[in-house]
Amino acid sequence: MKKLLVQYPRLEENYSRLAQLCRGRYDIVPIDRRITEEELTGLLPEAEILFGDVKPAWLADAPDLKWVQISWAGVRPYIGTDLLDKLILTNAAGAFGVTIAEHAVGMLLTLARKFRQYYANMAEGLWKDAGSEWPLEGRRALILGAGDIGKAIAKRLRGFDMETVGFGKNPRKDPAPFDRFITLDALEEELAGADAVFGALPETPETLHLLNAVRLAMMKDDAIIVNCGRGSLIDPEALVSELNKGRFFGVGLDVTEPEPLPADHPLWKFGRVLITPHVAGIGFGHLPKTTDRIWEIALDNLERYIAGESLKNVITNEKGY
């Protein structure tokens, strides 16, 4: 019997449905999140499916492996490899919109209300006004990325009476949940008029340094930038240069280029920059609901796979995501 290797936590809670779907077709084999290459290699000859996250190179010698369901949304380690020509790779896009949107809005509020300064004042016992805030009502937010994460951000910003503009590769007849939707031809005009800019794009050659020196310079002096997508969206040298000029009310970065951000990197020194270590979308070990969503995607795809139907979230080298 072929094996279904499962590296996801909370297997016990999902085992009943997993076993029902397999119906004796697959031997369900739990594997550790810290599995070594040697340990995995011993299991791969009889494996057809893997629910897990391992280095692509570890899967090179897996003659019967047909499908890998990873628990991430990002797929950079797999892009450009011949692995995608040999098997189906699916990701967990759709599981992270809520948690990342909450993180992004939390960053916006922290920067807009100057909470960083007040936290610093608290540490010194200072009762001190930090100055005028950045009101959200009536502001325009440009959201770079119109997938699950971008839509979730837009829905939450509308609760603050902000106008939302979505950005993506292809035009859309219906902009919802955004107020408006644009493509690349209108990006620079919208950047110049945006009060807040959110990054929620996958990493592709087209998104690499999309916010470069020229485009950052176009933005309003008091704009707020929040990036919870991929660090490569923003040219870090250009961002530092603009911050040194006193521009931008605040910048929130859950992702950076490079990662981890070196301790001596100049971005750490700015009081109006808020940095978190790529934790906005962590599923396993942080939020149980996100873990549940990852399982829902995996189990739905397993049902499709067994029925011979097309899977969701299939990754290709051509798309880059």
Alpha carbon distance, N-terminus to C-terminus of the chain: 32
pTM, whole model, 2 decimals? 0.94
What sign does the CA torsion over 5, 7, 12, 14 have? Answer: negative
Q: Which residues are CB-contacts of 103 (< 8 A; sequence separation ≥ 6)?
A: 228, 254, 276, 279, 280, 281
DSSP 64-117: T--EEE-S-S--GGGTTSTHHHHSEEE--TTSSHHHHHHHHHHHHHHHHTTHHH
β-strands 250-253, 273-275 pairing: parallel
From the candidates 37, 259, 286, 309, give the one annotated as an active-site residue: 259
For residue 294, the surrounding DSSP H or E stretch is helix 288-307
Whether 278 is catalytic is yes
Spot the catalytic one: 203, 230, 257, 293: 230
Does residue 76 have an active-site annotation? no
The two structure tokens encoding residue 192: 């110049």
Tens of pLDDT, residue by residue over 232-273, are 999 999 999 999 999 999 999 999 999 999 999 999 999 999
Using alpha carbons, select from 171, 135, 168, 163 the residue that is nearest to residue 149. 168
- pLDDT for 46-85, tens place per residue? 999 999 999 999 998 899 999 999 999 989 899 998 899 9
User: What residues does 69 pair with on adjacent strands?
Assistant: 51, 90
pLDDT of 290 above 90:
yes
Domain residue extents for the chain: 2-95+284-307, 97-275
Residue 99 is which amino acid?
A: T
Rounded distance between C-alpha atoms, residue 304 and residue 306, angstroms: 6
Residue range 32-53, pLDDT digits in tens: 999 999 999 999 999 999 999 9
259 catalytic residue (yes or no): yes
| Nearest CA among 219, 209, 275, 210 for reference residue 248 | 219
Name the architecture of domain 97-275: 3-Layer(aba) Sandwich (3.40)
Query: b/e for 19-53, b at 16 or more Cβ within 10 A?
Result: eebbeeebebeebeeebeeeebeeebebbbbbbbb
Matching fold, domains 2-95+284-307 and 97-275? yes
Handedness of CA 120, 260, 235, 141 (dihedral sign): negative
Specify the CATH number of the domain 2-95+284-307. Answer: 3.40.50.720
| HSE-up (13 A, CA, CB side) for residue 225 | 32
